[in-house]
Amino acid sequence: MSTIFALGSGTPPAGVALIRLSGPAAGPTLKALTNRPLPAPRHTSLRRLHDPRTGTLLDTALTLWFPAPASFTGEDCVELHLHGSPAVVAGVLDALSAMPGLHPAEAGEFTRRAFLNGRIDLTQAEALSDLIVAETAAQRDQALTNASGRLRAKAESWRHHLLTLLADAEADLDFAEEEADVAAGLATVRHRVAPLLAELDSALASADSGARVRDGLTIAVIGPPNAGKSSLVNALAARDVAIVTPHAGTTRDIIEVPLNLGGVPAIVLDTAGLRDSTDPVEAEGIARARARAASADLILLLGEESIDVPGSVLKIRNKIDLSEERPGDHGSHVALSATTGAGLDSLLDRLIAWARAQMPPGEPALVTHARHVHWLSTAREDLRAAQRQPDPVLRAESLRLAVRALGRLTGAVDAEAVLDQIFSRFCIGK
């Protein structure tokens, strides 16, 4: 196994930069850079770093040594905490590139090695990927929960339970000669599988809220042309993300803007004005606007109240700076001016309360990815088949398939097919 290195912090300049190494040459590399013995494991040590080729002083850095297997990747690891100037970082990376047995890490390679060395499973790797891009407290909490191994522990307990049941079912095959024995075996499987099915049902029930936290709630802003939809989206985003003009039909395609609603992630959609149009491009934008509104979690309806839209609707009366209406939340609607900002706080308060109500109380969701749903659903269907199957051989096969599905969830079985897909989402140095 080669030794990899990468900048694990943001692009310089910065106050501090972190360079990570993992692999068998990590320790010798640290000794070569410092010309000193390795520091005590997991203790910071202030060392001067020199380019081994020339002896040039590169920086004075805090160094950390993590001998295998007690490291993130399960391999020998080194961390170099440097001054975060571009020159310092470039000098150290250049020195590392010239050392034998070292090469720059690819995206997600540190986490991939942690998986391959048994330090984490696939569900924890996915949670770490989610944590890297988390923008809200809800996303952070959900990612941290699964990164700690909660889904892994659940899946392994289910798999262990099924392996025990499978072993008993296969042992019974040698004795299931009488009809009474076959009936008793089926009754036993039904009894022992029932509580596991209930747990799988409960886990899968959390999938919708898990996806909502990870991907964000969707809020579609719709209405006729020139109702102020783009102005409202810009006001909610606190920056100019949508073009605003007095001409109808300016917005043709859907613009997506992320929002943090009191710790709950949301995506606000600016859509084309709803009207009859002979322009094929504008007509396509209007069709897309109606389709996205139909699937949105909430619709902010501006302008004409006669527009027929499905789903949950919050009516917005915009441009109150041109009328006598008082800004604020009036229950049936929110009155505001996207231009002056009057009443915008009332709308945000209403949206935050709505967003928090969409999140179920208690622990973060256990199931957060479509891949989780697929393999848990597969295991559930295999277990239901085992409960219905009178033939003891086929019943044992259904149990075996359920065990396999849970193994694929965690990566204990046939993980190679999904490794590239999962780890390609990581940044360099993670």
Tell me whether residue 20 is annotated as binding.
Answer: yes
Tell me whether residue 249 is annotated as binding.
Answer: yes
User: In sequence order, which ranges of 296-391 are alpha helices (DSSP H)?
Assistant: 344-358, 370-388
Q: Are 197 and 189 in contact (CB under 8 A)?
A: no
CB contact set of 150 (below 8 Å; sequence gap of 6+): 366
Q: Are 352 and 261 in contact (CB under 8 A)?
A: yes
Tell me whether residue 317 is annotated as binding.
Answer: no
Tell me whether residue 247 is annotated as binding.
Answer: yes
CB contact set of 47 (below 8 Å; sequence gap of 6+): 33, 34, 36, 39, 60, 61, 62, 63
Tell me whether residue 304 is annotated as binding.
Answer: no
Looking at the chain, how many residues does it have? 430
Tell me whether residue 328 is annotated as binding.
Answer: no
Tell me whether residue 226 is annotated as binding.
Answer: yes
Tell me whether residue 251 is annotated as binding.
Answer: yes
Tell me whether residue 246 is annotated as binding.
Answer: yes
Euclidean distance between CA atoms 147 and 161, whole angstroms: 23
CB contact set of 14 (below 8 Å; sequence gap of 6+): 84
Tell me whether residue 285 is annotated as binding.
Answer: no
DSSP string of 215-227, one letter each residue:
H-EEEEEE-STTS
Tell me whether residue 331 is annotated as binding.
Answer: no
Tell me whether residue 273 is annotated as binding.
Answer: yes
The tokens of 24 are what? Answer: 């068998």
Tell me whether residue 248 is annotated as binding.
Answer: yes
Element (H, E) at 393: helix 392-410
Euclidean distance between CA atoms 413 and 243, whole angstroms: 50
The CA–CA distances, whole Å, from 28 to 35, 121, 150, 179 equal 10, 29, 36, 68
Tell me whether residue 79 is annotated as binding.
Answer: yes
Euclidean distance between CA atoms 9 and 236, whole angstroms: 31
Euclidean distance between CA atoms 357 and 350, whole angstroms: 11
Torsion of CA 60, 62, 67, 69, to 10 degrees: -140
Euclidean distance between CA atoms 105 and 60, whole angstroms: 24
Tell me whether residue 256 is annotated as binding.
Answer: no
DSSP class of residue 320?
Answer: G
Q: Are 284 and 293 in contact (CB under 8 A)?
A: no
CB contact set of 331 (below 8 Å; sequence gap of 6+): none
Tell me whether residue 250 is annotated as binding.
Answer: yes
**Position of tokens 């997991």?**
42
Tell me whether residue 119 is annotated as binding.
Answer: yes
Tell me whether residue 47 is annotated as binding.
Answer: no
Binding residues: 20, 79, 119, 226-231, 245-251, 270-273, 430
Binding residues for Mg(2+): 230, 251
Binding residues for GTP: 226-231, 245-251, 270-273
Binding residues for (6S)-5-formyl-5,6,7,8-tetrahydrofolate: 20, 79, 119, 430
